[in-house]
Structure 1
Amino acid sequence: MKHLLYAAILAFFVSTPAAWSQTEQLEKVTASSYQEAPDVMQKDSVLTIHGHSRTDPYFWMRLTDEQKMAAEPDEQTQRVLDYLNAENAYTKTVMKDTDSLQQELYEEIVGRIKQTDESVPYFKNGYWYYTRYEEGKEYPIYARKKGKMEAEEEIMLNVNEMAEGHDYFSVAGLQVSPDNKLLAFGTDTLSRRVYHIKFKNLETGEILKDKLENTTGGGAWANDNQTYFYATKNKVSLLAEKIHRHTLGEDTKQDELVYEEKDPSFYIGVYKSKSDDYIIIGMGSTVSSDYYILDADDPNGNFRQFASRERDHEYSIEHFEDKFYVMTNWNARNFRLMETPKNSTSKDNWTEVIPHREDVLLSGIEVFNDHLVVSERSNALTHLRIMNQKNEEEHYLEFEEPAYVAYTSYNPEFNTTKLRYIYSSLTTPMSTIEYDMETKSRKVLKQQEVVGGHNSDDYITERIFAEARDGVKIPVTLVYRKTTKKSADTPMLLYAYGSYGSSTDPWFSSERLSLLDRGFVYAIAHIRGGQEMGRKWYDEGKMFKKINTFTDFIDSAEYLIEKQYTSEDHLYAKGGSAGGLLMGAIVNMAPEKFNGIIAGVPFVDVVSTMLDETIPLTTNEFDEWGNPKNKDSYDYMLSYSPYDNVTEQDYPHMLVTTGLFDSQVQYWEPAKWVAKLRDKKTDDNLLLLHTNMEAGHGGASGRFERYKVTALEFAFLLKLEGMLEDEF
């Protein structure tokens, strides 16, 4: 009940925003007020290419997986571990005065989560499937009921029991065999995203002896209930590169290699079509797609290529009855929809269903017997278009909020008029809605419950457009309490990602309420590099136009300051992974615009990482960032690489987080970056590094543990704003 009492006390202060503006009376937070920050050895390594040399004094920090997991660390490993632990201890010391606040924030955040909870069940092949959580437990329970929800529950996996004794535990890729008797599932206990696939007899509870090593975690059952297709990874780069065929009961060493991807710029995986008629091997690079298909009734047959692989041709496929739908960018930058006979799938047999549009991005389809649901993006909003294939009538679902996200949920059945979709906004909790495509009626199946109560009407969402330096309009979405006064004294957290064509949609976040209810404004800058404004938006934020991503963010910040939503003294920025690269770039380019920065698992050593093809993701991303083995790419990437451009200047307060076992952005990138910043920066602002010594890119496993880092991040912001617990 403590968090409810706290919320009541908090409501009083929120109603009087002036109580939160303590800036003039507060003493500025300085690093020199604390013990000396950790020192770390410098050992120059000279990296030379294209006749140009870079000196990296912290290159020695790189450890192999074998070094990290060795029972007895060698001298280099011990030196790295000592440094990371020293940084963790320093962060803990500096943030000591926020300990009670961090605990309060953690309790608030976790207290809003419904502890005993259950997903909306879906029906497939005679069973209702759902996931549920029990109070106080970190992990899900995967269960099903036969025929009707009133039937006896069958627990397929209780991950709480499976995770006992592990610092990290993840389950992925659950696939039930066509006869409903067997379950395939992957487990990862290291957070490197390398899974072991096991099989469970759902009738007896027995775990079979079959164990598939070094996999992506998922796969596909053939219709004989004995054959399972799966992808394995390169043990160095961790890229999936081979597809194997396994027969239950046989030695896995005898598993047949059915496909090997020779081009390391492609990701690869295997899955089953919604129709259950085809096993599909899918390959994708940044600029190309490729598919091989096999009749699921013929598991020992040969896969055939769907269409010839072509550079700059991206597409996806969906089987339905006697044809495949094909969503393609062939002569269609924003994609168009085609169809082709299932036995004649080469490109010359494709015919157009939905033409290309310059102002609308076609982002996905959901196929039903009588309807086609098309997911679209335009003007930084998502749209759902319902097409009746019997009478050719169509309509769009309408949404009233100025900024929201709506997308199709899991719809495993063809023969239905009911569409399930997800709706959310910065003020509306995530809702699963069932929509009858014939009657146009809607039914909310479930809305995320915020324990303790949440009134969307207490908050305001805005969608504004900031002007970039080249005249382009950048969408910015904001949310804040109605009682929060927008002024130069208002604290704001500005978030963005801006890479890989990944759109940052305005989702609801219950943990974010802990900032909003303390008078913060939260904003998302939908900068170039995503696809919020169509495919062109992505193309103009990658490769040799990547600088637009960074200047868009800075220009959005300047616009918000100019319009008196906040000021440089109260503006904070946050980004993770490629968004952490964004943070690294903007603090080099415009450090004076921000009072504080949170950079999560930041990709900051761009040039060195992209030169090392043994690092996961490198080869797949040459068409995203460039290949620095080419001089023009090297020069351009070097111009913005955060680590290479650290200089002697003032920087904002900074909190950097990472994970020792991160396979996506190796821990040494943020560790080196922090060390170099410490050596070069000329200010007296805080610079903190927090390393999770047991986790990887996604942070801690479990339902609640991850929020301890969220509490640390929020406490960091509140500390800088002078909003410590004892001042309420």
Structure 2
Amino acid sequence: MKRIIPVVLLLSLTVACKNKDTQMKKYKWPDVKAPVADVIPKQRIIHGDTVTDNYYWMIDYFSKGPESTRTIGYLKAENTYLDQMMSGTNTLQSALFKEMKSRVKEKDESVPVFKNGYFYYSRTEEGKEYSKYCRKKGSLEAKEEVLLDIDELAKGQAYYSARGYSISPDNKLLAYGVDNVSRRQYTIFVKNLETGELTADAIPNTEGDPVWAADNRTLFYTAKNPVTLLSEKIRKHRLGNDASEDPVVYEEKDKSNYIGVERSKSGKYIFIYSSATLSSEARMIHADQPDAEFKIFQPRTKEVLYTIVPLADKFLIVTNWKAKNFRLMECPPDQTEKEHWKEVIAHRKDVLLEEVEEFKDFLVISERKNGLAQLRIHNLSGTEHYIDFGEPAYTAAAGSNPEYNSKTFRYIYTSMTTPVSVYDYDMESGSKTLMKQQDVVGGYNREEYTTERLYATAKDGTRIPISLVYKNELKKDGSAPLLLYAYGSYGHSMDASFSGNNLSLLNRGFVFAIAHIRGGQEMGRQWYEDGKLMKKMNTFTDFIDCGKFLISEKYTSAEHLYAQGGSAGGMLMGAIINLQPDLWHGVIAQVPFVDVVNTMLDESIPLTTNEFDEWGNPKNADAYHYMKSYSPYENIEKKAYPNLLVTTGLHDSQVQYFEPAKWVAKLRASKTDQNLLLLKTDMDFGHGGASGRFDYLKDIALNYAFLLSLEGISK
């Protein structure tokens, strides 16, 4: 791709290149030889295109191939190299870890949530990594019942994740999923809350999403393919039966679809959802008829997405049918096909309708306008209003609202200067009560920080929102270091929110910014569609244009500009350093999806087939060539690259370890600079890193030490 750089910016970049050498001298990096990966050429021939991949062998630990031992040896060598290169920052890393940990209220408790006669909450204890899941019957003054002590269950395990807590309708049983490998393969267990004992039921290889039928003895769950990890079957389990014989009530034949099962808030229905990027389908039964056959609500139709909101006398449907930004429809309970749908809220070009939450007398409609979330309260008697938030950039979303008969709506609010806050909102009176605000231990004064909402202009004229925060004393003269973060895929909106950890950067003079680039859905459905498939390049150029804008506005300069992204955001990092390597002083790529073509050609790799609607299927020639034009691994050249820290996890099920490992090996063999190139592989963890509430801070401390050392900041 042709890159045109304005003359003024080109001059500043030239100066920056000279300054970078000086900047590096502020911190003495050890003189250690980097690992050199073995070269074992393998050819890929498709669509008349021949590509030699020297590092394809690194897949062998995943595929149990002959080079498995060699692969582990290389990953360990890179870990040793990283430890040696970063050894001079050990004191700084330790200080950062203690600093971030000290801001966390160790003994804490969530705001209780009322459901079916009980108040449910979780609490943490001082010095403990995990939490306790608890309840009290009828009153918060009642005796506490500890349902699960995760600290106890996780003892002796490097990784432990519990999810999907599901209480039976009679309140006597708890079903939940456990992953102790970090591959997102959960085993479902059932605990008898009257005796405190686990039942004999143990259901392996699931999504960890147990759903109770009304009979208190039947569970529905999503079963995964043990190799591809695709969610491909919904099974039904009767307590006491052998899980290996659980009948299949639905099997998804389309490998591009994700499936799942859930129970409606009213408890009346159980739904099976099947959804890809461009189409969806739902099936349903009454929860008190677990042996009934699931009925299709509306057959899947190309480019039609829908979700269902059941009310007492009808169904509401959130859909993009003839409505790019979605609209709200309704239908009778016995006529659910779309020819019976009637419009309730019309499509709007400037408003994205995201979801609807039902209550007995109210609806809460989540919308997005001008890149910001809105919560619209609709009384089923006819009146409605919006909740006012009063800040230029923020995040607002529904919290936990399991009680159907409630007139209170719980929502979460945060901004880049407002700690996460839990509000209860009276939908009748319009009054709100702050139930809890994240406690930043050691003190935090929001008046010392400024948050802004800016707009950069992309190369095609599109205005790209940027949210940023900094200490008030910032001088906008280009001297401040700035960390620019983004994701930009799957229609995931990356909203402005508070981070206590970021204070460790802000208090040392950094600006933190989020680029709301295309590929997300901040500005509506079109924003997403303009950053996927054959328009994916917009995601990368938007981010680059945001970086240039922040330099032109003197929030930073190229010698102080840093970038960070993870997973699909890690692909973004790989793309921008290929497209404009001289714009960034340093880049952090976390679990980066960088070997796009090879991964999308291999349907045995988890999630590959689910992602065809996002990236394209490279078996199609046009998709292949376009994908190859931006895939970070394919576009490495012999040129200078910025300082780079790459992280991955050996057990990652979302982005396999071999993608970042191959990428780093190829970069080492190609780059012409003397800048840092570091790879860290967590040998015990996966995509999300450590499972404990403090252990993950060590990874953040490493990231921050990398950035601060590049800035010559040692304390």
Query: TM (normalized to structure 1)?
Result: 0.94
The 2-side partners of 1:587 and 1:29 are apart by 24
2:224 to 203, 220, 233: 233
SS in 1 for 2:209: strand
Determine the C-alpha separation between the residues in 2 that align with 1:169 and 1:686.
33
Preserved CA contact (<8 Å) 1:187 1:195: yes
TM-aligned CA deviation for residue 589 of structure 1 = 0.2
Q: What residue is the counterpart of 1:71 in the other structure?
A: none
Distance 1:322 1:486, change over 3 A: same
Q: Deviations over 1:565-590 (max 9, x none)?
A: 10000000000000000000000000
- Tell me which of 296, 308, 311 is aligned to 1:317: 308
Q: Say yes or no: does 1:294 pair with 2:285.
A: yes
Instruction: Report the CA distance shift for 1:65/1:589 in structure 2 as closer, same or farther (over 3 A).
Output: closer
CA contact (8 A) 2:192 2:199 kept: yes
In structure 1, what is the Cα distance between the partners aligned to 2:159 and 2:146?
22
Letter in 1 for 2:149: N
Matched, 1:149 2:146: no
Match of 2:199 among 202, 208, 211: 208
Residues 581 and 179 from structure 1, CA distance in 2 versus in 1: closer, same or farther, beyond 3 angstroms? same
Tell me which residue corresponds to 1:7.
none
Q: Is the 8 A contact 2:61 2:71 kept in 1?
A: no
Match in the other structure for 1:591: 581
| Counterparts of 1:452 and 1:64, CA distance in 2 | 45
Tell me which residue corresponds to 2:321.
330
Residue of structure 2 equivalent to 1:63: 60
Structure-2 separation of matches of 1:308 and 1:622: 21
1:167 to 130, 134, 158: 158
* Distance in 2 between residues matched to 1:228 and 1:440, nearest whole Å: 39
**Aligned match of 1:48 in 30, 36, 45?**
45
Shift of the 624–396 alpha-carbon distance from structure 1 to 2, 3 Å rule, reads same
- Which deviations, in whole Å up to 9, do the C-alpha atoms of 1:199-255 show, x marking residues without a partner? 000000110111111111112100000111111111111001011111111222331
The amino acid of 2:581's aligned partner reads P
CA contact (8 A) 1:221 1:229 kept: yes
Q: Distance in 2 between matches of 1:313 and 1:227?
A: 32
Match of 1:490 in 2: 480
1:81-480 to 2 correspondence within 5 Å? 81-390=72-381, 392-480=382-470
Aligned mates of 1:148, 1:538 — CA distance in 2: 45
Tell me, in whole angstroms, the C-alpha distance in 1 between the residues paired with 2:308 and 2:259.
Answer: 15
- The CA deviation string for residues 348-389 of structure 1, in whole angstroms up to 9 with x for no partner, is 111111000000000111112222111110111111111122
In the alignment, is the contact (CA less than 8 A) between 1:421 and 1:433 conserved in 2?
yes
Give the SS at the match of 2:396. strand
Cα distance per residue 1:271-311 (max 9 Å; x no partner): 11111011111111111111110110111111100101111
CA 1:66 to 1:562, structure 2 compared with 1: closer, same or farther past 3 Å? closer
1:497-549 CA deviation, whole Å, 9 max, x = no partner?
Answer: 00000000011000000000000000000000000000000000000000000
- 1:697 matched to 2:687: yes
Residues 61 and 68 of structure 2 are in contact (CA less than 8 Å); yes or no, is this contact kept in structure 1?
A: no
State the one-letter code of the partner of 2:52: T
Change (3 A) 1:423 1:142: same
8 Å Cα contact 1:116/1:132 also seen in 2:
yes
1:113–1:30: structure 2 CA closer, same or farther, 3 Å change rule? closer
The answer to whether the aligner puts 1:634 opposite 2:631 as a matched pair is: no
**Mean Cα deviation higher: 583-592 or 86-95:** 86-95
Q: CA deviation at 1:420?
A: 0.7
What's 2:5 paired with? none
Query: Aligned equivalents of 1:718 and 1:519: distance in 2?
Result: 10
* C-alpha displacement of 1:671: 0.3
1:31, 1:578 → 2: CA distance?
A: 33
* Distance apart, 1:63 and its partner CA: 2.7
SS in 2 for 1:714: helix
Spell out the pairing of 1:527-546 with structure 2 (5 A cutoff).
527-546=517-536
Residue matched to 2:651: 661
Indicate the residue corresponding to 1:15 in structure 2.
none
**Are the counterparts in 2 of residues 429 and 447 from structure 1 also a CA contact under 8 Å?**
yes
Secondary structure at the counterpart of residue 559 of structure 2: coil
Q: Which amino acid aligns with 1:153?
A: E
> What is the root-mean-square deviation of aligned Cα atoms in Å?
1.4
Distance across 1 between alignment mates of 2:20 and 2:682: 32
The question of whether the paired residues in 2 share the 8 Å contact of 1:120 and 1:445 is answered with yes
- Mapped to 2, the partners of 1:620 and 1:434 lie a distance apart of 37
Q: In the alignment, is residue 509 of structure 1 matched against residue 499 of structure 2?
A: yes
Indicate the SS of the match to 1:286.
Answer: coil
1:710 paired residue among 679, 700, 703: 700
Aligned-partner Cα distance in 2 for 1:78–1:436:
60
Structure 1: unaligned runs, 5 residues or longer: 1-21, 68-73
String of CA shifts for 1:658-716, please: whole Å, max 9, x gaps: 00000100000000000000000001100000110000000011111011010000000
Residue 424 of structure 1 aligns with an amino acid whose one-letter code is T
Residues 31, 640 of structure 1: CA spacing in aligned structure 2 closer, same or farther, 3 A cutoff? Answer: farther
Is 1:523 the counterpart of 2:513 in the alignment? yes
Match status 1:551 vs 2:551: no
Q: Which consecutive aligned stretches of 4+ in structure 1 deviate over 3 angstroms post-superposition? A: 22-33, 64-67
Q: Deviations over 1:303-324 (max 9, x none)?
A: 1001011110111111111211
- Please, what TM-score do these two structures have when normalized by structure 2? 0.96
Letter in 1 for 2:25: K
1:29 shift after superposition:
6.6
Q: Aligned AA for 1:396?
A: Y
Whole-angstrom distance in 2 between the partners of 1:498 and 1:29: 34
Contact 2:23 2:710 (8 Å CA) reproduced: no
Q: Is the 8 A contact 1:418 1:435 kept in 2?
A: yes
How many angstroms does 1:556 deviate by? 0.6
Match of 2:713 in 1: 723
- How far 1:31 sits from its partner (Å)? 9.5
- How far does the alpha carbon of each residue in 1:381-425 deviate from its partner, in whole angstroms, 9 at most, with x for none? 1111111221x2221111111100111111122323211111000
SS at the partner of 2:210? strand
Matching residue's letter, 2:490: Y
Counterpart amino acid of residue 550 in structure 1: F
Q: Is contact 2:41-2:55 (8 Å) kept?
A: yes
Residue equivalent to 1:38:
35
Find the counterpart in structure 2 of residue 617 from structure 1.
Answer: 607
Deviates more, 1:362-371 or 1:136-145: 362-371
CA contact (8 A) 1:30 1:684 kept: no
Partner Cα distance (2:584, 2:243) in 1: 55
Determine the C-alpha separation between the residues in 1 that align with 2:90 and 2:255: 46
Name the amino acid aligned to 2:656: Q
Instruction: Give, in whole Å, the separation in 2 of the partners of 1:88 and 1:130.
Output: 39
**Shift of residue 23, structure 1, vs aligned partner:** 8.3
Cα 1:274–1:688 change in 2 (3 A) is same
SS of corresponding position for 1:229: strand
Q: Unaligned regions of 5+ residues in structure 2, if any?
A: 1-18
Instruction: Report the Cα offset of residue 66 of structure 1.
Output: 7.3
Q: Secondary structure at the match of 2:35?
A: coil
